[in-house]
Amino acid sequence: MKDQTKKFTTIHYQKYLELDKILDAQKLRSIELEGKAAHDEMLFIVTHQVYELWFKQILHEIESVMDMFSKDDVDERNVGTAVHRLKRVIEIQKLLINQIGIIETMTPLDFLEFRNYLFPASGFQSFQFRLVESLLGLEDGSRLTYNNKPYENAFDEGQREMLKEIKNSNSLFDLVETWLERTPFLQFEGFEFIDHYKKAVEEMINKEEKLIKKSNYLSEDEKEMRLKMLGNTDSYYGIIIDENTHQNMKDEGKLRLSYNASVAALLISLYRDEPILNQPFQLLTCLVEIDELLTSWRYRHAQMVLRMLGKKIGTGGSSGYDYLHATAVKHHIFSDFHNISTLLIPRSELPDLPPEIRQELGFYYTK
C-alpha cells in the first residue's frame, strides 16, 4: 500500500522554490574578469533569466494543448481548456514585451561597461525560444539564416537532435489544421456551406457595385477605385471558393493551410455566435494573437537593440538590429488565420441557417 504520510510532509518556502539555486545563478563576468562589478550586468542577467523561466512556462502550456489536439477525437471540453491555456500564453507574452522597458532603464553607455564580456553569447542561442517557435509551427523555409548558417548550428548535438525530432513531428499548426479538417459542420443535409457562401458573396458584391455606380457624390475615378477595392468573386474570394486555385497558391507557398481547414476556419469565423462554434472561434483568435504578439516582441526587441547598439554587430556575430527587424517581418506562423479576415462578409449578408442546423450548432447538439 502506498505510504500516505508523504502527502503531509512539510516543506519550507525557500526549499520548495529552490531559491538557493535560483538566487545563486547570477554570476557577473565583470567581477570574474575584471574584479569589479559593472552595476547593470546584474539587471541584464536577471531579466534574461526571467525570460527563460517564462519560456519554460509557455512550453508547458503549448505542449499540453498539443497533447489535447493530438487525439483523433478532440473532446469539445478540451477546446475550452486549450483556449484558457493559450490565453495564459498571451498574458505571458504581454509581460515579456513590457519587460523590455525594464532592460531599457540601462543606458547604452551602461551596457558598454560589460558588453565585451558577453562575446560570443547571444539571445539567438536561446534553445527554449527556438522550441517555442518550432512547436507552434514556424517552418524552416520561413526562417532567416543566422550568419548564413542554419539556426540549429547554435546548439549542441543533443539540442539539434531534439529540434530535428520536432521538425519531423506535428506542430501545433499541423494539429489544429487536422482538427479543422475534421469539422463536421461543413456539409449538412440540404445545406452546403461553401455554395451558400459563394451565392452570398456574389449578391453582396453585385449590390455594392450597383450602389457605387449609382452614387452621385463620387467622381468616376473614385468609383473606379471603390470598385477595385471591392474586388470580385474571382480575385477577392477565389482562393476559398475554388479549391484548385487554393491548391495552386498552396503549391506556390502563398498559402499553408489546406483548403478544407480554410473553409472550416471561415465557417467558424462567420458563425462564431452559434454556441458550439464560439470556443473554436476563440481558439483561432488565440493563435492569431500569439502570432501577433511574437511579431510585436521581435519588433520591440529590435528597437531596443537599435537604441542600445545603433548599427553595431551583435555579440553573436549577427547584423544586430537589421537581423532582428527582418525576423519581425518574416517569421510568421498563423498568417492563414489572419487572411480569413479577407473573406469575411457582414452578418447582414450571411446565409440564414435552417432551424434544424441552428439547433445542431446550439447546446442541443449530440453526436
> What is the CATH classification number for the domain harbouring 152?
1.20.58.480
Average pLDDT over residues 234-251: 79
Residue 365 has pLDDT above 50, yes or no: no
**Residue 10 within any structural domain of the chain:** no
Separation of alpha carbons 227 and 212, rounded Å: 7
Residue 152 has pLDDT above 60, yes or no: yes
Residue 363's pLDDT is: 57
Residue 148 has pLDDT above 90, yes or no: no
Which residue segment(s) compose the domain that 132 sits in? Answer: 19-360
Average pLDDT, the chain: 87
Region of poorest pLDDT, from 33-42, 83-92, 96-105, 215-224 = 215-224
**Residue 225 within any structural domain of the chain:** yes
Residue 301 has pLDDT above 70, yes or no: yes
Buried b (16+ CB within 10 A) or exposed e, 330-339: ebbbbebbeb
Count of Cβ atoms closer than 10 Å to residue 219 Cβ: 9
**Residue 7 within any structural domain of the chain:** no
**Residue 206 within any structural domain of the chain:** yes
Is there a contact between 152 and 231 (Cβ–Cβ < 8 Å)?
no
Average pLDDT over residues 318-340: 83
Residue 34 has pLDDT above 80, yes or no: yes
**Residue 185 within any structural domain of the chain:** yes
Average pLDDT over residues 222-248: 78
**Residue 9 within any structural domain of the chain:** no
Structure-model confidence comparison of residues 332 and 367, the more confident one:
332
Residue 187 has pLDDT above 80, yes or no: no
**Residue 333 within any structural domain of the chain:** yes
**Residue 104 within any structural domain of the chain:** yes
* Number of domains the chain contains: 1
Eight-class DSSP state of 340: H
* 355 prior amide bond cis, ω within 30: no
Is there a contact between 89 and 58 (Cβ–Cβ < 8 Å)?
yes
Structure-model confidence comparison of residues 144 and 110, the more confident one:
110
Segment (H or E) for 136: helix 127-136
Ordered DSSP codes for 158-194: HHHHHHHHHHTS--HHHHHHHHHHT-TTSEETTEEHH
